[in-house]
């Protein structure tokens, strides 16, 4: 039954890829299509309001500067709201201003699509902040990631000097993709008993006569974009394990598909832009094969339970249910864990800190690779970055100038790709080492031994990959952790985005060279294998020593 | 006072990103000249 559940969800996902990918392709292809009639009027009104006079294409520098400036404005506005929320309207529960370093961490967390939460939603944010800061940035950060991915695809597949207009891409991402889909999913979640109200918390009397404050609020509308935008920040502290956020196995499947479908359809979109759908399916196949290995690993590890408890005579037939919801069981918890860290959403329906060591290794490894479907847009960009690296390495081995989609890959592109690849392990491993060397860092570790290493490593890996989930035993709401994870999130988001837009800007100006019998093909199974091999080898070379010290050592001590 | 530090730090980081953008552009153009 478990396996059947997994097969059905994966099957539905695969069936969604082509229709959804076709729709997304038409949204950004700039060819007239039926969606223009539906959304064109709204978009023209928005362009008028924001004063957008020219919808012409931008050079990569102008595109990057536009998205940076847009993000700066949103960060400033959000920081102001969080610091003033105590005196703003929409605060029926009387929540005060958020502390300075926590506000710094929170605005960075949401503008970078990370949604690392060092606060608890029920007690840390007013309804106004939940909507005007959290939900607003859930839309804008997802739209930014999507726009950059499309611009990168244009750089690889078109010819000229421009890679699209950021503002039109950004607006279209909202009007044609995220707002319609979020509205639809919100209505479905409300029908399935997820709360959507502006009423204050409900005060209830318990059977023992005590009073209890039960948090409610505009949950469904946040829940939909939380997953659609691969954001992951929950309305409640317990995230999608909370029965008001994720009440049933059916809502669980809806949430899994809504965070997985858009990242999974992007390789198909890339294939459409490239004029060769096989290119897209090869990338999709590489992502899916990596994903299936990770899913099988976490499912098997959790199914076999915790060896220590098993040896004490505990009933192992249910698997390791510590930190999991009975209504989801092992299969739906494992699938959620594998998808939320593959698509770098970071929402959780079970507590990752209580996964078995090998089970916990899976989300950690998926975030370290950062290409297994990946977050909104950036996952595809990262995978294509590895595809160019794979072509470069293959070219070196056979002594040919490497070409990708007919463009010659030169040292300038490889220099930028090397920066984008190497910044990821650097901003994970360096802060992890600093945290171990300082009292401020060590003070947050709640588990001695190897699991404590995993906790710290997970926190920075989650920040760098803009995931946002955590091994939540870590006591991370301190100025040290707020500041260091904030900086890691920023570097993890913008350095690779800027570098890859620069690569797109360089490639778009190149003439394509005609394909010959000696051209290294990138649209067959052989290249898919080389691509997976490149990802695994680079990932293993950079992260294996750290992983051995954490989850693998822990696994060996409890066998 | 701490608010000012936070805002200045955010501004400094985004200025660094703009600088990185310039560096990327220069790296591409220098290679083109060569």
- A218: phi then psi, degrees, rounded to nearest 5: -75, 70
Asked if residue B17 is part of any domain, the answer here is yes
The residue behind tokens 């985004």 is B14
Give the integer Cα–Cα distance in Å for A496 and A462: 16
Give the integer Cα–Cα distance in Å for A366 and A128: 34
Binned at pLDDT 50, 70 and 90, residue B31 comes out as low
Write out the residue range of the structural domain in which residue B4 sits.
Answer: 1-29
pLDDT at position A217: 94
Helix (H) or strand (E) holding A404: strand A403-404
CA atoms within 13 A on the CB side of A90: 18
- A211: phi then psi, degrees, rounded to nearest 5: -105, 145
- A4: phi then psi, degrees, rounded to nearest 5: -60, -40
A495 touches chain B (CB under 8 A): yes
Asked if residue B13 is part of any domain, the answer here is yes
pLDDT digits (tens, 9 = 90+) for A358-374: 999 999 999 999 998 98
Mean of pLDDT values over A308-322: 85
| Other CB atoms within 10 A of residue A310 CB | 13
Asked if residue B18 is part of any domain, the answer here is yes
Asked if residue B34 is part of any domain, the answer here is no
Secondary structure string (H, E, C) spanning B1-34: CHHHHHHHHHHHHHHHHHHHHHHHHHHHHHHHHC
pLDDT at position A30: 75
In the stretch 503-532 of chain A, residues with CB closer than 8 A to chain B read: 505-506
pLDDT digits (tens, 9 = 90+) for A518-556: 778 788 899 999 999 999 999 998 999 999 999 999 999
Contact across the interface for A498 and B20, Cβ inside 8 Å? yes
Asked if residue B9 is part of any domain, the answer here is yes
Contact across the interface for A487 and B31, Cβ inside 8 Å? no
Q: Collect all residues of chain B within an 8 Å Cβ-Cβ radius of residue A489.
A: none
Distance from CA of B2 to the nearest CA of A (A): 7
Contact across the interface for B20 and A412, Cβ inside 8 Å? no
Q: Which two tokens stand for residue A436?
A: 């171990």
Binned at pLDDT 50, 70 and 90, residue A294 comes out as very high
Radius of gyration of chain B (CA): 15
Q: How far apart are the first and last CA of chain B?
A: 50
pLDDT digits (tens, 9 = 90+) for A74-117: 999 899 999 999 999 999 989 999 989 999 999 999 999 999 88
Cα-based angle A56, A59, A65 (whole degrees, multiple of 5)? 100
CA closest to A102 among chain B residues: B6
pLDDT at position A309: 84
Contact across the interface for B17 and A494, Cβ inside 8 Å? yes
Of chain A, the percentage scoring pLDDT greater than 90 comes to: 72
A434 touches chain B (CB under 8 A): no
pLDDT digits (tens, 9 = 90+) for A414-442: 989 999 999 999 999 999 999 999 999 98
Query: How many structural domains are present in chain B?
Result: 1
pLDDT at position A315: 79
Q: Flag whether pLDDT at B12 surpasses 80.
A: yes
pLDDT digits (tens, 9 = 90+) for A436-493: 999 999 899 988 799 999 999 999 999 999 999 999 888 988 999 999 999 999 999 9
Binned at pLDDT 50, 70 and 90, residue A559 comes out as low
Mean of pLDDT values over A387-396: 91
- Residue ranges of domains in chain A: 2-204+212-558
Q: CB–CB of A60/A156 below 8 Å?
A: no
């Amino acid at each position: 039954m478990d396996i059947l559940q997994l097969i059905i969800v994966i099957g539905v996902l695969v069936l969604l890829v082509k229709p959804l990918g076709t729709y997304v392709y038409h949204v950004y292809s700039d060819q007239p299509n039926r969606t223009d009639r539906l959304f064109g009027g709204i978009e023209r009104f928005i362009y008028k309001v924001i004063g957008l006079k020219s919808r012409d294409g931008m050079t990569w520098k102008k595109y990057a500067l536009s998205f940076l400036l847009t993000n700066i404005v949103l960060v400033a506005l959000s920081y102001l709201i969080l610091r003033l929320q105590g005196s703003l309207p929409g605060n029926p529960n009387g929540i005060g201003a958020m502390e300075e370093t926590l506000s710094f961490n929170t605005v960075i967390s949401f503008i970078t699509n990370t949604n690392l939460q060092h606060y608890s939603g029920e007690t840390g944010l007013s309804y106004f902040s939940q909507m005007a800061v959290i939900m607003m940035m859930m839309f804008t950060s997802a739209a930014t990631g999507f726009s950059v991915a499309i611009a990168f695809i244009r750089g690889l597949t078109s010819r000229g000097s421009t890679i699209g207009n950021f503002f039109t891409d950004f607006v279209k991402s909202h009007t044609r993709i995220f707002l319609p889909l979020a509205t639809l999913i919100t209505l479905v979640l409300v029908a399935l008993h997820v709360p959507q109200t502006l009423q204050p918390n409900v005060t209830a009397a318990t059977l023992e006569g005590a009073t209890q404050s039960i948090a409610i609020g505009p949950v469904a509308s946040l829940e939909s974009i939380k997953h659609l935008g691969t954001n992951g920040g929950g309305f409640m502290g317990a995230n999608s394990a909370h029965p008001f956020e994720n009440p049933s196995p059916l809502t669980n499947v809806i949430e899994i598909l809504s965070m997985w479908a858009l990242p999974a359809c992007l390789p198909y979109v890339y294939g459409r832009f490239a004029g060769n759908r096989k290119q897209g399916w090869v990338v999709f196949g590489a992502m899916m094969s990596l994903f299936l290995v990770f899913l099988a690993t976490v499912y098997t590890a959790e199914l076999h339970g915790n060896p220590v408890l098993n040896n004490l005579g505990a009933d192992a037939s249910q698997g390791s249910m510590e930190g999991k919801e009975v209504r989801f069981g092992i299969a739906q918890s494992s699938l959620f864990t594998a998808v939320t860290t593959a698509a770098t959403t970071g929402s959780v329906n079970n507590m990752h800190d209580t996964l078995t060591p090998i089970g916990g290794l899976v989300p950690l490894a998926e975030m370290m690779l950062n290409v297994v479907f990946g977050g909104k847009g950036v996952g595809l960009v990262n995978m294509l970055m590895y595809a160019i690296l794979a072509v470069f390495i293959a070219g070196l081995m056979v002594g040919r100038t490497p070409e990708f989609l007919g463009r010659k890959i030169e040292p300038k592109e490889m220099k930028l790709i090397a920066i984008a690849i190497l910044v990821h392990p650097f901003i994970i491993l360096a802060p992890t080492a600093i945290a171990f060397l300082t009292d401020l860092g060590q003070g947050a570790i709640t588990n001695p031994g190897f699991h404590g290493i995993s906790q710290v490593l997970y926190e920075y890996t989650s920040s760098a990959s803009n995931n946002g989930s955590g091994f939540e035993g870590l006591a991370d709401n301190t100025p040290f952790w707020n500041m260091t994870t904030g900086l890691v999130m920023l570097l993890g988001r913008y350095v690779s985005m800027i570098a890859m837009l620069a690569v797109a800007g360089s490639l778009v100006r190149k003439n394509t060279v005609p394909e010959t019998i000696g051209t290294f093909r990138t649209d067959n199974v052989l290249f898919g294998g080389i691509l997976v091999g490149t990802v695994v080898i680079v990932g293993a070379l950079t992260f294996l020593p750290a992983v051995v010290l954490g989850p693998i050592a822990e696994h060996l001590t409890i066998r | 006072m701490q608010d000012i530090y936070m805002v200045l730090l955010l501004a400094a980081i985004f200025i660094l990103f703009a600088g990185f953008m310039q560096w990327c552009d220069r790296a591409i153009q220098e290679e083109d000249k060569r």
